[in-house]
Amino acid sequence: MNLVPRSSFVICSVIGIAGLCSVWASAGTALEHNAPDRFAQEPPDGSFIVFDVPAALHTSPLSINPAGVIAGTYGDSNGGLRGFIRARDGSITTFDAPGAGTLLYQGTVPRGINPEGVIAGHYITFDSRYHGFVRTPDGTITSFDVPGAVSIFVTGINPSGVIAGGYRDSNPQRLHGFVRTPDGTITAFDVPGAVWTFPSGINPEGEITGYWQRTFNGTPLLGFIRTADGTVTGFDPPGCSLTNTVTPSINPAGVITGSCIRGNPSGFVRTTDGAITLFNPPNSVQTYPQSINPAGMIAGVYVDGVNPYALFVRSQRGIFITFSIPDMAPGTMPGVNGINPSGVLTGSYRDSNPGRYHGLEGHGDHGDAGDDDHDGGNELSTLPKFVPRLSDKSVE
């Protein structure tokens, strides 16, 4: 999960392979691991639970729902990908989409889980084709494709079961957006004038955010929002019009977060009236917001002069909480792939020994972040502790 600059990093993270741009695995039938109830109690604020799918070489959580149920992917010795669901009590269920390949860069990638426990994602077959799938809580998996698509990439599912994503057609350079309703109806769309449209998040209202590109010759990535009636509005944060804008997340109110590159990457938040505010945690030289929850809390990754890669949570008022992962391998970048309404975040990181990716569930002590006496801005609270439950890692 080394940092890949600009759009390469963006594509990996949005397609769900930010942490999957390396290796990973698939094979076998679904198993349920009835873990001891050691996860049932909430960890103290400001701590993490570190976890692995049993026997996994790599574990990458990609989504978390309001109940704290996590969906993601993991790898085994075959080098492919398998799906998993981690319940609040820590028990883990693994699954594979029918037809998913079992070799390197093949397998099942769950990209989103909604409040009902319905999971949407994509899977890669033996011929390296990408197809979509929906998994209901009873384990039923339905595959789907966009008409005319060569490969599709699912990026999210909302509480109503509406799915958003992107797809490639016979022109390998082109990328288009799509929306799939629960009855299976699929609508393809493009930002007007775009050669490259990629949805990266969908909210309960069916509003979709993403990014697009005008030409293939190195023009910048720009942001967009598409309403449920199909109206598309493009935008670009001020000062970032000549570089890349990435929009990974939109909350129920339609507030969008992302990053734009104006020399160095900065974070931004866009409110429903179109106002855009740029932000960086104090001392940050690179800021990558990844998820925003209903309260406007933003979780992401940043780089400063002390911690090469660290995590942050930003309150709606602009107050930051930051923390680092002590056993993270030098020069690697952690992933933050979701923050739920309770402020519980999930993601992954790579350790120094033996250099594998592990899942994490973070419970930040937001303390001052919600205090109306504070004026936001540059206020910073550095969490003093990281409490990895190392015994929760799978033991080999």
What is each CA distance from 48 to 45, 62, 114, 157, 188, in whole angstroms? 8, 16, 23, 26, 40
pLDDT number for residue 29: 27
pTM summary value: 0.85
Amino acid, single-letter form, for residue 101? G
**Among 161, 102, 165, which Cα is nearest to 135's?**
161
The 10s digit of each residue's pLDDT in 276-323 is 999 999 889 999 999 999 999 999 999 987 667 888 899 998 998 887
| H or E element in which residue 7 lies | helix 6-15
What is each CA distance from 154 to 62, 127, 163, 178, 287, in whole angstroms? 12, 18, 7, 9, 25
Which residue reads 């979780």 in tokens? 299
Asked if residue 354 has a cis previous peptide bond (ω within 30° of 0), the answer is yes
DSSP helix, strand, coil percent of the chain (3-state; round to 5)? 5, 45, 50
**Among 125, 77, 78, which Cα is nearest to 101's?**
125
**Among 227, 275, 269, which Cα is nearest to 245's?**
269
The 10s digit of each residue's pLDDT in 206-252 is 999 999 998 887 778 899 999 999 999 999 888 775 567 888 899 99
CA 171 to chain centre: 27
pLDDT at residue 365 greater than cutoff 80:
no
The 10s digit of each residue's pLDDT in 110-149 is 999 999 999 999 999 999 999 999 999 999 999 999 999 9
